Structure 1
């Protein structure tokens, strides 16, 4: 019977697991928990192919518990109940360890139904998810579990698995590897061990006896595998967050990198929307022309389409990353909206109220309003904020050249 290479090479001990060194190193917290034998209910969170299922299997083996594997896309609470029924039989004398893959596919009622099974200690739950558990797992379950984050395997660690896989896949055969094949797979599969091992298996199966596994073939089978992207998941928001923070931090190289990841994933719309936000939120009044320039670049990009669209988008992102920065606009509006949300408003001064209707003067509307354009410097002192907010300051001038010039101008006009 055919057995995938990834299953043949699956680690049997924690020492054999590649990656996850923070969790599984000799003094790592997860290793200490496993070695204690006192296994709590846990949630393994991380991308596919990084060892979540493997570690759960090793935990079951080391603690001598029977492992039941369920997938939330097909399982139901009835499957959990059948497992509980077995606990009083000789089939699971030390209790059960239930590995529930993709728990995010259980709805709220199904997730909450798990509580009755995990609270009495007869069943230990290890749930796994590729989505952020703090968004997709309900609080009642989350509060009874310890969350461990599994991360993509670094290329240095991946090389161990790839080299071992080639040794096993090519055992007894005379096949040579071009220089760089192992490195190409180790770096080209985005930290996903399963993808890397599948690539090894494919290359080994297609290699002729006394032949060579070419570097170009290795690059082809692993191409684009390093792109972890889901428009509705963590990757989407993580990349957008990294893009904005790179621009805010004035690092054009990092900003271009994250823009490239979005474009390679075919998500130009999200990149464009976030760039429009950045122009006003992070560049802002330090270089207000950036908003119109970025808008023009984005319009050009959508008229051009890919691949040419990358050029005006790169122009816009570099412009913002190297421009002076100010967040005075967002700070000002957020402070004003906070007052409004808390009901700190007050009545609009009568001189500012609409007076373009019959009877407005009888109500005292606009009687004392002074038209600023009739005065020197187009300014006259009068009350604009409601009485309840007199003296409130929402906008603080930034330290950049533009805002300081505006500040100096108005201080001169207002005679301060």
Structure 2
């Protein structure tokens, strides 16, 4: 034993680490997975778990749950991180797992934190040893299962989605941390309800950061043992709004659908969320340009100019001032009449080109033609613009919306009586 181990007691660990649950009874939240009688809970209690992936936001309990499993299972437990894991490391784990199974009839559980960070070849190396039961895999990720983990590996695992802790769970944990004489602050401090409500809200479900802020606020007190709102606000410099890949895709989807649906307030809200979370403003401008052509189109052609102007403002003025130009473009697109006729026209034409032969260009419109008549000078000119096989095919069908309504009227004149 190291001589200095005698001084390594719980009191020197951060409050967030001291309050980490040691068993299922101490585990708050995730009632949909770990409530009494739930399948996952029964599997853990009977030591019958299979390979699984735990997906959820930061501090939702993924690592803690794996740690609890390690204390309840008779299996050998290995913990590794996907960021640095190599194929050779995995082979060594598999070799030890096979030896344990052969010599001691003991299974091996491999907990892989940040499993989304594994390179695809390392993920592929997992497939045979997960499939034949050499190891039981527990993967943990904050990212999208669909985008970051190969489908064959997902198909060999049960996916459990953990949710951000709700206010009631957070408050219970924080009050327990204040009162617990062994792992917590020992009842030496109190907190006003106003400060507690703020802390539960500002942490965005991240109990680890909430406990860090609580500990910081408590130890900063001098003339009082009561944690007030201002002390908590000073301990939390800003709301935690960093986003994972999953959040990024979800918020981008919400933003785009709000633009398409003409929901101005919703689009402005998601724009603000994306900007505050550090999403590249040029990426947002690219989405706005796409919607200016795809969803507004000829109903208000000025939308494209406004969208491009927002992009220019970001490049010329920079952030944060360019946020106004981006917001102006968002409002303009939301409030514009909508038409996807151009979008349908080019997609329809591309599909047609893919499915038909490459017809010859008509003689009237070939380069160097002598049969072409300029229709501006000769309104009655009868040039052949399309191959005979394509003649009569309609790709662009204008919609009766905004500026395009004039074009719609032109294409839909009533037949002469």
Q: TM-score scaled to structure 2, two decimals? A: 0.84
Map 1:220-239; keep pairs closer than 5 Å.
Answer: 220-229=234-243, 233-239=245-251
- 3-state SS, counterpart of residue 389 of structure 2: helix
**Which residue does the alignment assign to 1:165?**
177
Distance change in 2, residues 1:340/1:196 (3 Å): farther
Specify which of 215, 229, 241 is matched with residue 201 of structure 1: 215
Give structure 1 stretches of 5+ with no counterpart: 356-364
Residues in 2 aligned to 1:242 and 1:412: alpha-carbon distance in whole angstroms: 39
- Give 1:210 shift: 3.5
Cα pair distance change 1:128/1:387, threshold 3 Å: farther
CA contact (8 A) 1:166 1:204 kept: no
| Conserved? CA contact 1:97–1:124, under 8 Å | yes
Note the 1:37-116 alignment, pairs <5 A: 38-75=48-85, 76-77=89-90, 78-89=92-103, 94-116=106-128
- Preserved contact between residue 328 and residue 395 of structure 1 (Cα < 8 Å): yes
Q: 2:133 aligns with which of 121, 125, 132?
A: 121
SS in 2 for 1:121: coil
Asked if the contact 1:24/1:31 (under 8 Å) is kept, the reply is yes
Shift of 1:34: 4.4
| 1:295 Cα deviation from its structure 2 partner | 2.4
TM-score (normalizing by structure 1): 0.84
CA shift, 1:11, in A, is: 2.9
Q: 1:89-113 deviations in whole A, cap 9, x for unaligned?
A: 55xx552221111123332332222
Pick from 252, 261, 281 the counterpart of residue 294 of structure 2.
281
Compare 237-246 and 384-393 and name the one that shifted more: 384-393
Superposition pairs of residues 226-305 of structure 1, within 5 angstroms: 226-229=240-243, 233-266=245-278, 267-305=280-318
Distance 1:27 1:324, change over 3 A: farther
Mapped contact 2:29–2:166 kept (Cα < 8 A): yes
Residues 353 and 218 of structure 1: CA distance in aligned 2, closer, same or farther (over 3 Å): same
Render the CA deviation track for 1:163-208: whole Å, top value 9, x for unaligned. 32233333141x3324422222222123222222222222233333
Q: What are the superposed Cα offsets for residues 38-87 of structure 1, whole Å, 9 maximum, x if unpaired?
A: 42211122332111112223344555434321112334212443344334
Which blocks of at least 5 consecutive residues in structure 2 are unaligned? Answer: 1-7
Specify the alignment match of 1:374 in structure 2.
Answer: 377
Q: Distance in 2 between matches of 1:258 and 1:403?
A: 29
- Mapped partners of 2:242, 2:36: distance in 1: 29
Between the aligned partners of 1:17 and 1:394, the Cα distance in structure 2 is 60
| Equivalent in the alignment of 2:390 | 389
Native 8 Å contact 1:352 1:366 kept in 2: no
Distance 2:37 2:377 in 1: 76
Matches within 5 A, 1:180-195: 180-195=194-209
Structure 2 distance, partners of 1:36, 1:161, is 27
Give the whole-Å Cα distance in 2 for the aligned partners of 1:210 and 1:335: 72
Match of 2:321 in 1: 308
Secondary structure in structure 2 of the residue aligned to 1:126: strand
Q: Which moved more, 1:13-22 or 1:147-156?
A: 13-22
Residue 48 of structure 1 aligns to a residue whose secondary structure is: coil
Distance apart, 1:29 and its partner CA:
5.6
The count of corresponding residues between Structure 1 and Structure 2 is 399
Counterpart CA distance in 2 for 1:380 and 1:153 is 72
Contact 2:97 2:134 in 1 (8 A): no
Kept after mapping to 2: 8 A contact 1:354/1:366 = no
Match of 1:403 in 2: 404
